[in-house]
């Protein structure tokens, strides 16, 4: 059994959210809710967010203590809001706003890993003190990526990729001060892991021993930086540009640096908390770490006739001047237009393709696309497109319709559709929600009036369709 020498052993940890196994669904929902809450008095913001958390499926009967825990975990780990105790004001963070707007969960987890460090404001003040007093300065995702990259260099002659298990990450990296304090070279960790494998040395995996290193590896998976096979994690080669950005980044929250090797009060650490959240949100740039949809599909989906057509279609879209290639929303709308064209062709209405139109946002008519029903009577179909990209399949959809969109849905009734385009590692489908107002009245979806309407619904209330890919006729 591998043992770190006692003088170098320090177990580090972080908050593990109660919703870890549902983290993508929860964060997308909460980001949207935070973005709707106006900046204001801390107590009022907390109440508003608690009410939103309570409405998440499965939380209806949860006690206020559990709801509070969700709220603080979301703040501590992901910085969705910033509490300024001196001014008694809470502001929604850029983390939440960017996720709500762009619906790119893979990008969110890259932001998260880019800033996550020990010590950091995600820890309680006395836990930060332990790390400061021990001399720890450690960015886990950056270091793990560097170890895996170094391992690839060593393994390149035999054509293999170097990988690491949660146990190896825990005992050879996370809990060893030679790494977290003394900044041991990644190549030395690679050598250690390889030597332990040769000697068939075991690691302690009991209980939650490997939980925290495992969490970071899982978050790196959600960020599409890693892949996993049989419990071993290795670098995702399609993301090498972002991986190198992570490794080479010198971003560091320096708010605790002044406490090393000096006397200080615990309150001084606590005073840095709001500065930590400001730092996390200042690092957000909506134009950085955008998910490359072509690469994502290339890596996740098996090569077949359908995916080849899809990849080629997206490449064409990327070359069109009117499509913002880094915006999943624009790509989604363009793919849906292609879907509608193919649907009409299948209905024998090829001569009517010119009637399918993308509506300029400036017109504010309450929908993105005007299309046709698949009949000869010329009945229109009005489509609002909502697109999301994530690692895992989403099972709960929470979307916001503006006042114009909800009014259009009310007026257009059965001719109004929401097309929910979901792109994940597991699948890419369209979920069609027809006549959302009627569905709300029939208690099939939830609706909360708020600057329009907040809709919540599950997969089973939608029509599920394969995305039809436009091919020039």
- 162-198 confidence digits (pLDDT tens): 999 999 999 999 999 999 999 999 999 999 999 999 9
In a domain, 91, yes or no: no
pLDDT of residue 459: 86
- How many other CB atoms are there within 10 angstroms of residue 253's CB atom? 20
pLDDT of residue 446: 87
Domain count of the fold of the chain: 1
Q: For 280-284, 305-309, 344-348, which range has the lowest pLDDT when averaged over its residues?
A: 305-309
In a domain, 54, yes or no: no
Q: What is the mean pLDDT of residues 254-273?
A: 94
Q: What is the mean pLDDT of residues 268-280?
A: 93
465 vs 300: which has the higher pLDDT: 465
Q: What is the mean pLDDT of residues 238-246?
A: 92
Q: Would the pLDDT of 436 be above 90?
A: yes
Q: Which domain holds residue 326?
A: 293-466
d(CA 186, CA 150): 7
Which strands sit side by side in the sheet containing 164-165, from one edge to the other? 164-165, 232-235, 226-229
In a domain, 347, yes or no: yes
Q: Token match 């900046």: residue?
A: 39
Q: Would the pLDDT of 212 be above 80?
A: yes
pLDDT of residue 367: 95
pLDDT of residue 363: 84
In a domain, 199, yes or no: no
β-bridge partners, 446: 456
pLDDT of residue 194: 95
> Domain with 374 in it: what CATH number?
3.40.1350
Q: Token match 């699948």: residue?
A: 427
> Which band of pLDDT confidence, cut at 50, 70 and 90, is reported for residue 450?
confident
User: How large a percentage of the chain has pLDDT more than 90?
Assistant: 68
In a domain, 21, yes or no: no
d(CA 57, CA 17): 17
Output the pTM of the full model.
Answer: 0.87
In a domain, 401, yes or no: yes
422 vs 256: which has the higher pLDDT: 256
- Within 13 Å of residue 154, how many CA atoms lie on the same side as its CB? 17
Q: Would the pLDDT of 147 be above 90?
A: yes
Chain mean pLDDT for the chain: 90
Which strands sit side by side in the sheet containing 463-466, from one edge to the other? 357-358, 369-372, 380-389, 416-423, 428-434, 463-466
pLDDT per position as a tens digit, 287-326: 778 787 777 776 777 677 777 788 788 777 766 655 554 5
d(CA 220, CA 138): 16
Q: Is 458 helix (H, G, I), strand (E, B) or coil?
A: strand
Q: What is the mean pLDDT of residues 438-456?
A: 88
Q: What is the mean pLDDT of residues 222-243?
A: 94
In a domain, 302, yes or no: yes
Q: What is the mean pLDDT of residues 134-156?
A: 95
User: How large a percentage of the chain has pLDDT more than 70?
Assistant: 96
In a domain, 265, yes or no: no
pLDDT of residue 320: 67
């Amino acid at each position: 059994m591998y043992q770190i020498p006692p003088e170098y052993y320090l177990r580090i940890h972080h908050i593990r959210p109660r919703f870890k196994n549902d983290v993508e669904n929860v964060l997308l929902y909460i980001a949207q809710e935070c973005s709707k809450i106006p900046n204001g008095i801390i107590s009022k913001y907390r109440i508003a967010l608690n009410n939103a958390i309570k409405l998440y499926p499965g939380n209806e009967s949860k006690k206020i203590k559990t709801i509070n825990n969700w709220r603080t975990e979301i703040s501590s780990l992901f910085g969705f809001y910033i509490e300024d105790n001196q001014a008694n004001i809470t502001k929604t963070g850029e983390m939440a706003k960017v996720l709500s707007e762009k619906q790119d969960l893979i990008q969110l987890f890259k932001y998260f890993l880019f800033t996550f460090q020990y010590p950091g404001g995600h820890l309680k003040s006395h836990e930060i003190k332990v790390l400061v007093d021990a001399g720890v300065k450690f960015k886990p995702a950056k270091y793990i990526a560097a170890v895996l990259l170094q391992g690839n260099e060593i393994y390149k002659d035999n054509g293999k990729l170097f990988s690491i298990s949660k146990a190896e990450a825990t005992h050879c990296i996370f809990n060893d001060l030679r790494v977290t304090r003394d900044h041991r070279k990644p190549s030395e960790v690679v050598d250690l892991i390889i030597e332990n494998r040769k000697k068939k040395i075991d690691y302690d995996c009991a209980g939650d021993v490997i939980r925290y290193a495992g969490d970071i590896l899982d978050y790196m998976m959600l960020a599409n930086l890693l892949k996993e096979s049989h419990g071993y994690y290795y670098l995702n080669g399609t993301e090498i540009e972002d991986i190198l950005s992570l490794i080479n980044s010198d971003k560091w929250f320096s708010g605790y640096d002044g406490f090393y090797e000096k006397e200080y009060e615990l309150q001084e650490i606590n005073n840095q908390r709001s500065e930590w959240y400001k730092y996390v949100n200042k690092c957000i740039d909506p134009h950085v770490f955008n998910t490359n949809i072509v690469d994502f599909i290339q890596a996740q989906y098996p090569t077949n006739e359908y995916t080849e057509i899809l990849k080629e279609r997206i490449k064409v879209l990327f070359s069109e001047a009117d499509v913002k290639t880094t915006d999943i929303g624009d790509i989604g709308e363009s793919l849906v237009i292609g879907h509608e064209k193919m649907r009409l062709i299948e209905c024998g209405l090829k001569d009517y393709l010119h009637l399918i139109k993308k509506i300029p946002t400036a017109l504010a008519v309450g929908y993105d696309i005007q299309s046709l029903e698949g009949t000869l009577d010329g009945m229109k179909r009005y489509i609002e497109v909502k697109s999301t990209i994530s690692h895992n399949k989403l099972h709960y959809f929470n979307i916001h319709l503006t006042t114009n969109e909800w009014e259009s849905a009310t007026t257009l009734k059965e001719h109004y559709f929401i097309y929910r385009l979901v792109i994940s590692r597991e699948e890419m489908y369209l979920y069609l929600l027809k006549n959302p107002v009627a569905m709300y009245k029939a208690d099939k979806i939830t609706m909360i009036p708020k600057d329009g309407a907040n809709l919540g619904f599950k997969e089973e209330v939608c029509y599920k369709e394969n995305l039809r890919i436009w091919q020039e006729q």
